[in-house]
Amino acid sequence: MDQSLTDQIRESRLLLKNPYAYLDDEGRFSAISSVKKPNLSMSSDIILNGKRKGQRFSRADIEKFARNLQAKMWRNRSQLFPDQALTSPIDILDPIVAFKYLGYSVNMQDSLGQYKPDGAELYEVAGSIDTIRLEVAISRKPLPNIRNFTAAHELGHAILHEGVGFHRDRALDGSGGGASRVPMEYEADTFATFFLMPEKQIRKAFEDRFLTQEFKLNDTSAFALSQSLEEISQKLQTRRDLSQYLAKVMRYNRVQFISLADQFNVSVTAMAIRLEELGLVDTEF
C-alpha cells in the first residue's frame, strides 16, 4: 500500500474516531475505495455572501459566515460524512472536512518543525496553510482539542483572508490574545470559536446538562454538583473558575454526561470563555 493511501486511511480513522475502520474480519484492509474526498466543492465567496475577502470583519459578520458554512455542511452531510449516521448539527463541526469541502488538501503530520519569525521567539509549529496552493498541514503533537482549534483557526484564514500565501501558526486553544492580537489572527480565532461552538448548540447542550440558561451557584446547584455550597465556594473563587468547572464537569443532578469541552472537542478554557460570552454563567459571581 502506498504512503498516500496509508495517510488517507489514518486521517479518515481520526475523523471517524474509529482506529479499526477499513479492516475486515481477518485484519486486512477492506472498503479502501470509500476513503475519498467528498465529491463536492464550496467556494469561500459563497460563504462570505457578497462580502469582500480580505476586508476587516465584525464579530457579527464572522458569526454569520460560520453559520453559512455549518448550514451548507449540514445540508450535504450524507456526502461529506458518507460512513456516519449524523443526528445532531454538532456532529458536522469538523474543520478537516470543511477544508476538503473548500477544495483544500489536508495533511496530518507528526511534526511541522519550529519557526522563528523576525524579532519573535522560536515556537513549535502546530498548523500551516497555503492559500495559494490550497494546502493545509496540522501537527499531531498537540492534544486533540488543541489540534481541532488550530485547524479551525486555519479554516478562518482560508475563508476570510486574501493572499495569505504560506502561513504558520503555533498551537492554539482558543484562550489567548483577544482583540489585542493582530487583526487577521483575531479574526481567525473568532471564526474558530463560532465554527466549533455555535451559540444555538452550546445553549441547548448547556441547558440539557444544567437545566438552566444562566447557572447560579447556590445551595440547590451545589447539591446537584454533589457538594455543599461552602465546600464548592472555597474551590471556585472567580467567575472564570466556575465557568471552567462547568466546562469540564461530567455529572449534575445525579446524571452522567460527556463534558461540554469534550463534546465540542475544545479546551476547557475555550469552552469557559464561550459560556461567559453567551451569559450562561452568573455574571455576579
Rounded mean pLDDT for each run of 10 residues along the chain, 285 residues in total: 49 54 47 46 91 94 98 95 92 96 94 81 88 93 94 96 79 65 90 98 98 97 96 95 98 98 97 97 88
pLDDT at 115: 85
Sequence ranges of the domains in the chain: 1-36, 38-196, 199-277
User: For residues 281 and 210, is the Cβ–Cβ distance under 8 A?
Assistant: no
Cell representation of residue 236: 471556585
Q: Provide the 8-state DSSP code for 124.
A: E
pLDDT at 2: 41
pLDDT at 41: 77
Distance in angstroms (rounded) separating the CA atoms of residues 87 and 192: 22
Cell representation of residue 219: 445551595
256 - beta bridge partners?
251
pLDDT at 35: 41
15 burial (CB, 10 Å; 0-12 / 13-18 / 19+) is middle
pLDDT at 206: 98
Q: Note the pTM of the prediction, 2 decimals.
A: 0.83
pLDDT at 20: 54
105 - beta bridge partners?
135
